[in-house]
Amino acid sequence: MGSADNITRRDFVRTTVGAVVGAAAMAGAAEDAAGNPDQTAPRPSLSARVVIVRDEKVLNEAHDVDTAVLDRMLADTVMRVTGEKTAEAAWRELFTPADTIGLVPTPHLNPTHPELVDAVRRALVGAGIPPAQIREAQGGIDKPRACTALIAMPALKAHWLTGIGTVLKNYIMYSGRPSTYHDANNANLGEVWLLPDVKGKTKLVLVDALRPLCDKGPQPDPRYLWDYKGLIASRDPVAADAVGLQIIMAKRRALRGEEWPLSPPPLCVRAADEKFGLGTSRLSNITLDRAGWSRDALV
For 187-241, the pLDDT digits (tens) are: 999 999 999 999 999 999 999 999 999 998 888 899 999 999 999 999 999 999 9
CA-wise closest residue to 48 among 299, 242, 195: 242
Residues in the chain: 299
Query: Mean pLDDT of successive 10-residue segments in the chain (299 residues)?
Result: 34 31 35 43 71 98 98 98 98 98 94 98 98 97 97 98 97 97 98 98 98 93 97 98 98 97 97 97 97 97
Distance CA 19, CA 239 (A): 15
pLDDT score recorded for residue 27: 38
Domain ranges of the chain: 4-37+52-292
Angle at which helices 24-34 and 237-256 pack, to 10 degrees? 100
pLDDT score recorded for residue 108: 87
Cβ within 8 Å of residue 263, ≥6 positions away: 160, 163
pLDDT score recorded for residue 45: 53
How much is the pTM? 0.86
Q: Cα torsion at 62, 226, 273, 188 (round to 10°)?
A: -80
* Residue 234, SS3 per DSSP: strand
Distance CA 42, CA 36 (A): 9
Q: From residue 110, how far is each of 35, 53, 61, 211, 262 by CA, in Å?
A: 25, 21, 18, 9, 18
pLDDT score recorded for residue 41: 40
Provide the 8-state DSSP code for 264. Answer: S
pLDDT score recorded for residue 44: 53
Could you report the per-residue pLDDT of 41-62, keeping only the tens digit for each? 445 558 999 999 999 999 999 9
pLDDT score recorded for residue 43: 53
